[in-house]
Structure 1
Amino acid sequence: MKKVAVFGKPGSGKSTLSKLLADKTGLPLYQLDSMLYTKDGAFVDRKEFDAKHEEVLKSDCWIMDGFGPIGAFYKRLEEADTLIYIDLPYITSYWFVTKRLLKSVFVKPEGWPDGSSAIKGTLASYKVLKLCPKFWNKEFSEKLQLMSAAKSVHIIKSVNELSRVEFL
């Protein structure tokens, strides 16, 4: 496990799991939201993001969590030796997004850029969750299964599995 891509729906625990993995393995962590957004919540210049993303992918080891632009996402899946797909039920993801908003009154959400708006981020997460079934579907799962011949693929389907990650 040297190049790890962690992905899934908003509010699925990607950033929390990625931080835990980084702490346990010593691999450098790159949280995609911090690469994609400025402190005020605006998108960084696409060329700037692509250059940073490519730089990380070419390095010897990394953990990267998030989705981002579709082309960058698939490139990350190709480069990674370990894929971790957090596929919690939608109701759980909606609850986690809401819980993250409530907690943000006291602490910055894990993986969020400093100074970003929890309200804007939450609304964006709800919008993305609504669109997720168009992407996180049977076709995507089949693509992931094909990749598992050459990579270590872990699919986490419950909060219980997420809390006792066994591949660490």
Structure 2
Amino acid sequence: MERVVVIGNSGGGKSTLARRLAARLALPCHEIDAILWGPGWVPTPVEAYEAEHDRLIAGDRWIIEGLGRRESVPRRLRRATDIVLIDLPLWRHFQLAAERQIAWAMGKLPHPPGGLGDMPPTESLFRTIDEVDREWMPVIRDETSRCATAGATVHRIQSLDALNAF
């Protein structure tokens, strides 16, 4: 594993898994939310995001986790040697995201997404989870399959047990 993409819907454990893999594999870990969002969950300018995204994927060894801008996903997947697709049922993403929101509200979230201090509005988060499930995940699954055919190693995780075992 040299260039690893950890991707999937919100609340699925991408960040936690990426940090653990990075420690085990001695790879630098980059969180897409950190380049996508500014304070107050304001999106960074497209040009700044694209420049930083392309700089990160040009590296030789890395773990990059998160979704980011939709148009950047295929480039990231195609550059990866390994793809970890966290593909849990939609209800599980809602459950885990709700648990994260509660922990965040209680000040017990050790690693907020993107290092942001402000919790995202729950309604917006849930709307995004639904949209990603309907509109993004079919495309991500297809692109992941193409990358597997081209030689990338793909790990598709579809349950919490599989996630914990990985």
TM above 0.5, one fold? yes
The Cα shift of 1:62 comes to 0.9
Q: CA deviation at 1:63?
A: 0.6
CA shift, 1:48, in A, is 1.0
| TM superposition shift of 1:39 | 2.4
Give the helix-richer structure, 1 or 2.
Answer: 2
Partner of residue 77, structure 1: 77
TM-score (normalizing by structure 2): 0.90
Q: Is the 8 A contact 2:83 2:155 kept in 1?
A: yes
Contact 2:11 2:96 in 1 (8 A): yes
Q: How far apart, CA to CA, are the structure 2 residues paired with 1:113 and 1:134?
A: 23
The offset of 1:109, in angstroms, is 5.5
CA contact (8 A) 2:148 2:154 kept: yes
Equivalent residue pairs, number: 163
Partner AA of 1:117 in structure 2: D
More deviation, 42-51/127-136: 127-136
Partners of 2:77 and 2:143 within 8 A in 1: no
Instruction: Please tell me whether the aligned partners of residues 85 and 155 of structure 2 are also in contact (alpha carbons under 8 angstroms).
Output: yes
Q: Which amino acid aligns with 1:61?
A: R
1:111 CA drift (Å): 5.1
The separation in 1 between residues aligned to 2:115 and 2:140, in whole angstroms, is 32
2:120 is the alignment partner of 1:112:
no
Q: Is the 8 A contact 1:82 1:151 kept in 2?
A: yes
Q: What does residue 158 of structure 2 align with?
A: 157
**Alpha-carbon contact 1:100-1:109 (below 8 Å) kept:** no
> Once the two structures are aligned, what percentage of the paired residues are identical?
23
TM-score normalised by L of structure 1: 0.89
Call closer, same or farther: CA 1:147–1:67 in 2, change over 3 Å. Answer: same
Structure 1 gaps of 5+ residues are: none
